[in-house]
Structure 1
Amino acid sequence: MTRIDPSYYLSNQPRSTPSADLGKDEFLKILMAQIQNQDPLNPMDDTEFISQMATFSSLEQMMNMNTSISKLVQNQTVSPVIQYSHLIGKEVSFYKLDEETNKIVQPKEIVNSEVIAISEREGYAVIELVNGQKIYTDEILRINKPSADQ
């Protein structure tokens, strides 16, 4: 009687964790295994084969589109300087801060000044003003067109 090599037993096969995502390579492997192991007397129907190839093509196009969209999203991250550059030449209103404590002066006093430049510090936009002050964008209370008397 012929003996089966124990290395072919399923219990002796290395176990890998299956991936939840099937890609085009896995789909193509399954399709090729299906073609190789089909019954020669009853081959796969042509329409079924064409349908599976169309599915493969569709999967490949979706994966390419996903890659393209991911690259587009990565390129859309805009630096704070570019994001707030439209403020240059505009007048902004903000609460006056105490220079020592960096807290709002009481009673609250609103200061107006024109934006002359935008810079970046630690990932945040810093607004540079005509009066020499530098403020962060979250300190802005109002944005106006520049005053006519300046």
Structure 2
Amino acid sequence: MEKISDELLLSNYQAKTKQSGSSVLGKDDFLKILITQLQNQDPTNPMQDKEFISQMASFSSLEQMTNMNQTMQNFLNFQSESNLLQQSQMIGKKVTYEVESTDPNGEKKIEEKEGTVKSVLFEKGSVLLEMQDGSKITSLQVVKITDRSE
């Protein structure tokens, strides 16, 4: 029978946790705790099957949520890259866009401006259009797109 590694003992695990300072438990940590619990259980009163199955179900749920989180993050990254490529078609186009401003009376008003898109960039999690004058707008502000020659 294969011996369980000493690093899985609760005392060693606690020492490592204190050294690393991590407050987030991952699926590896969950498995280590479960193995330690099994290793240190009272032989005269072993863990009940229901308890063990419940903990394994919890572990399975944790692993599925971790995998789903990773998949969702990959999807969001792909969407951002895709959006950047789609918006790159706007480079060199003349656009009319809306800008919200506040007049001297403190009232908000929306005014339309025109400009030519100089570049497209990804900044702070969103795709922005950089205009020839250096201002940056989102594609949601654009109300009209025309060819520059018009």
TM-score by length of 2: 0.52
Who is 1:19 aligned against? 22
- Which ranges in structure 1 are unaligned for 5 or more consecutive residues? 1-9, 95-109, 128-133
3-state SS in 2 of match to 1:21? coil
Match of 1:82 among 81, 86, 104: 86
Letter in 2 for 1:74: N
C-alpha displacement at 1:144, in angstroms?
4.8
C-alpha displacement at 1:82, in angstroms?
2.0
C-alpha displacement at 1:92, in angstroms?
3.7
- Which ranges in structure 2 are unaligned for 5 or more consecutive residues? 1-10, 99-111, 123-127
Per residue, is there more helix in 1 or in 2?
Answer: 2
Letter in 2 for 1:120: S
Please say if 1:120 is aligned against 2:119: yes
Structure 1 runs (4+) greater than 6 angstroms displaced: 86-91, 110-113
TM-score by length of 1: 0.52
C-alpha displacement at 1:111, in angstroms?
9.0
Who is 2:73 aligned against? 70
Who is 1:46 aligned against? 49
Query: Map of 1:85-96 to 2, 5 A cutoff?
Result: 85=89, 92=96
Distance in 1 of aligned mates of 2:31 and 2:129: 49
Question: Is contact 1:90-1:143 (8 Å) kept?
Answer: no
C-alpha displacement at 1:83, in angstroms?
2.9
- State how many pairs are aligned: 109
Deviations 1:65-89 (A, max 9, x none): 111111112112122x623747999
Distance in 1 of aligned mates of 2:121 and 2:91: 20
Bigger Rg, which one: 1
Distance in 2 of aligned mates of 1:28 and 1:125: 47
